[in-house]
Structure 1
């Protein structure tokens, strides 16, 4: 197998391969709404804001928000201010009374396990189990198991071999010296940053089940002299000090608003004055009407984690609340981007 070079990115386009995986569950969410709930027929007669939709169907706010973002991104619904309306294509193809209704076409798939999962997630707001791992364990509890943690971390490391260098090469970090990679998993993103920014050293901060995995992978990549690992619980203890860069790479999207607020506030407290926050993730547009591939990926996250893909506007509001200023955003690779903000 060819050695991993974190200063190189492939010349071919990875989007099709990534989008099949990231959008895997979106069709099940459409099926749940169309077949089990007849949601689009109701919306045609009752244009509503998100709160009214939640009241009528008994939905929790987070999954309902993800669902409506997906439907807007597909053009099934439109939004006027805060009010959602069924679009012309929605009336043609998703309305029960339409001669072109596709509900019977979708109905043969109504008993797919993930479709049924969405009915529970929409009503409870709680994630379903991750990919059939164990019916009693959502993703966060499953990560406490070493075998699952190893499997999941390897999957995210595979993705990071592309996304890490693309992120690193999009940033000018010449004035920074010490990075804390919070929830850094295998260390692939920390290694990517130090590989492309020679003045940087880094610490991966993640839970105990990942510590050994991260140390092994960092050594394999050849960065054990510049990237170390510290085990801890980012939601139960203060973040370590002495760093002028904080990175959340594909981390905040696993959590609901209270945890995201908590983590950003913890970063602001711990980060050195003049330091920078990096959020590397898949971002919903500020108007929450796209992009479609990210809206589809958000459906997967909503199903299996406590989070979703947040919009650029939501992150700016949350980071501003924590005290950060001076935001910028740029796209990187595979429908991802990186947002930066500074601590005055």
Structure 2
């Protein structure tokens, strides 16, 4: 049992980056293993290709293929010239089966790992696998409708959010803002932490059942119920219109591009002119060359959800399309950060 935190402005004395990275990057090795089992690198050495050409030839879907190629680029095994992917000298020497330095056999014993097998199917179907490789499990979105899973997963995200929320809250300038809507809020740790750091602000935690009940209990136990309330709903069905700040914290990365586009449009329709949107997440950089930690984390998301880690460039384009004016990306901690956008 994790001790309950009551001071939501506190920060740890030490940096847990390496501990986060073990968990976040857990599935990356399985995606590399899956690619080696298909002898993908040998094929790419002979056929430099665009993402679309890779998908057509191998029968891959765009989202998982993009995550895979981003991982390979960030490791400097592949480079992208314009829109065409080529193997680097490292890739040629160590990942091609014709090379005397080929390391494929070193990975062969991993081919039957459940997550590695899952990745073959995810690449070909675009559909998430069962959570943690459990074939009998629902995908993550369906699993969150089950009481036991929702409770355990919300507790895990609350534990993570105790650190991440402090870092976000302390870097935000919310001067002149009145009311924050934390969308897909889980335990409400971000809403509570931001309200604690910005005492002029009230907040609304917005999530569906049964997460709403879990959040309400935790908010009360934290002593935040006077300034943080809970509203139940499905974010795809619309949002409350009485808030001038919207927060998507670790939410958009669970969804494919069409759903992200839809959620940004709903946010835009619900915010007043001049309203502020905050996207807090793990971001790939604009040219998709890193950071490696985030590219590895994106593998986990691609496996178990409908999403991935999006690049700052992808978010800027989607925000502009939705009618927002996007701002610059800012780092926080452990490979996370945020982008601000203003509603036009």
TM-score, normalization by structure 1: 0.98
Give how far 1:4 is off.
3.5
Matched, 1:152 2:156: no
The alignment partner of 1:208 has SS state of coil
Paired residues, number: 342
Match of 1:105 in 2: 106
- 1:25-64 to structure 2, matched below 5 A, reads 25-34=27-36, 36-64=37-65
The 3 A distance-change label for structure 1 pair 118 and 8 is: same
Give how far 1:139 is off.
0.3
2:275 and 2:343 in contact (8 A); partners too: yes
Q: Over the residues paired in the alignment, what is the CA RMSD in angstroms? A: 1.0
Per-residue CA deviation, residues 238-288 of structure 1 (Å, 9 max, x unaligned), is 111011000000000000011100000000000011110000000000001
- 1:123-272 to structure 2, matched below 5 A, reads 123-133=124-134, 135-235=136-236, 237-272=237-272
Match of 1:17 in 2: 19
Separation (CA, whole Å) in 1 of partners of 2:96 and 2:8? 49
2:115 and 2:133 in contact (8 A); partners too: no
Give how far 1:92 is off.
1.1
Per-residue CA deviation, residues 33-85 of structure 1 (Å, 9 max, x unaligned), is 01x21000000000000000000100000000000000000111011000000
- 1:293-308 to structure 2, matched below 5 A, reads 293-308=293-308
Separation (CA, whole Å) in 1 of partners of 2:217 and 2:65? 40
TM-score, normalization by structure 2: 0.98
Separation (CA, whole Å) in 2 of partners of 1:136 and 1:7? 37
Separation (CA, whole Å) in 2 of partners of 1:56 and 1:5? 54
Separation (CA, whole Å) in 2 of partners of 1:27 and 1:136? 22
2:9 to 7, 14, 20: 7
Separation (CA, whole Å) in 1 of partners of 2:135 and 2:40? 30
Deviating beyond 6 angstroms after TM superposition, the runs of 4 or more aligned structure 1 residues are: none
Separation (CA, whole Å) in 2 of partners of 1:326 and 1:200? 23
> Which runs of 5 or more residues in structure 2 are unaligned?
none
Match of 1:70 in 2: 71
2:212 and 2:232 in contact (8 A); partners too: yes
Matched, 1:96 2:97: yes
2:179 and 2:202 in contact (8 A); partners too: yes
Give how far 1:2 is off.
6.3
Give how far 1:134 is off.
5.5
The 3 A distance-change label for structure 1 pair 174 and 332 is: same
